[in-house]
Amino acid sequence: MTINKIQLILNVDLCFILDCTSSMEPYIEASKDCILKVTAYLKKTNPSISIRISVIAIGSSDIPEDMLGGLDAAVSKMPWSHHTRVILHIGDAPPHKHLYSSLNDDYPDGDPNGLTARRVFHKMKTKKIMYSFRKITEYTLQMINVFQHNSEKFLMFDVALDNNPETLLQKFIKAVTSTVISSVSLNSKIASTKNSLSIYSINESKLKVNPREPNWADLPILNGLILEYYLPINVNEIKDPEHFRKSQMNSNTFYFKIAPYSFDRSAQHSAFFSFDMNRTEKMVLKKYYNGDNSISCHYESSEISTIAYFLAKKFNSACEKNNIKKKISSFILELIWKISLGTTIL
């Protein structure tokens, strides 16, 4: 992928679609504060990302909303010109039509202007716009299922109800930041592949994200294999190709539980909450996207982290000998070492 292509991907058009009925009042206020803070946060943490923001408000006199009208307006009327295009939809109610819910509806037969989810999402796909929905209530569950059927796949995140304005604001900042970075990562993944992928052809397991830790009691126990390189004794061992051969790895069987959906992802891998049954402690498992080469990515990550851990220990040792107080904390050292454990699910 060329530098020019990377620069294009980092230019983002983000359109908020907000349900502006009374039930959404705390979310509207949080969204207003969020827009300015997210822009500032992204400039600070990801200065290479350039973002342009627009907002569309929707509403209705009954519980179902003019959601399809809002989506259609976003797709058709917004000036989409940047390479990465994202619609972030925040709502607590479904569109009109009993297909989407069993709620009382002034338009039970469908959108008064004849709009359908299939037609709107087809336009979205044609314009290469990514769609991300933030679920607030259970009223939208049936709608989500219909949308996923008609739109192939889309990003869906869960935003729980919260009466604390500050907590709600932080949730929105995290949600929006995650949406933007995820969209850029997905576009980067597509641009770097040799296949003619589109944002709608990526497997659903890579798109659906749940930032909440699962109920471990509901999940089955699986078995796997932990593979790890032996810690180098000196720098010469790091440079010795024999030290990092697969045949030199130490392996241990372990039992674990894993969340059904990832809590975060990058252009290369998804991260899943998991629970080590042997040590009775929480951990994170990574799954790479590179198909047959995914195990090679695990080996590479483990090798890099093993070397990083060795160098960090040497750095701390040198600091102690020279009475230098600035050292790498034990927490970071433990984190690096845990990352160096490559895990293969059997």
Q: Which residues contact 19 (CB under 8 A, 6 or more apart)?
A: 27, 58, 59, 65, 67, 90, 91, 92, 93
Name the pTM for this structure.
0.57
Instruction: Provide block-wise average pLDDT over 10 residues at a time, the chain (346 residues).
Output: 67 84 64 74 77 82 81 91 86 84 85 88 87 80 79 55 59 73 70 52 56 87 82 86 80 86 74 87 78 67 82 85 74 50 44
Nearest partner of 72 among 31, 113, 109, judged by Cα: 113
- The three-state secondary structure class of 302 is helix
**In DSSP terms, which residues pair with 15 in a beta bridge?**
54, 87
Between the two ends of the chain, the Cα-to-Cα distance in Å is 34
The reported pLDDT for the residue numbered 160 is 52
Domains of the chain listed by start with CATH number: 3-207 (3.40.50.410), 216-345 (3.30.200.20)
Distance CA(176)–CA(227), nearest Å, equals 36
Cβ contact 76:123 at 8 Å: yes
Compute CA distances 68 → 58, 59, 102, 142, 204, whole Å: 10, 11, 17, 15, 22
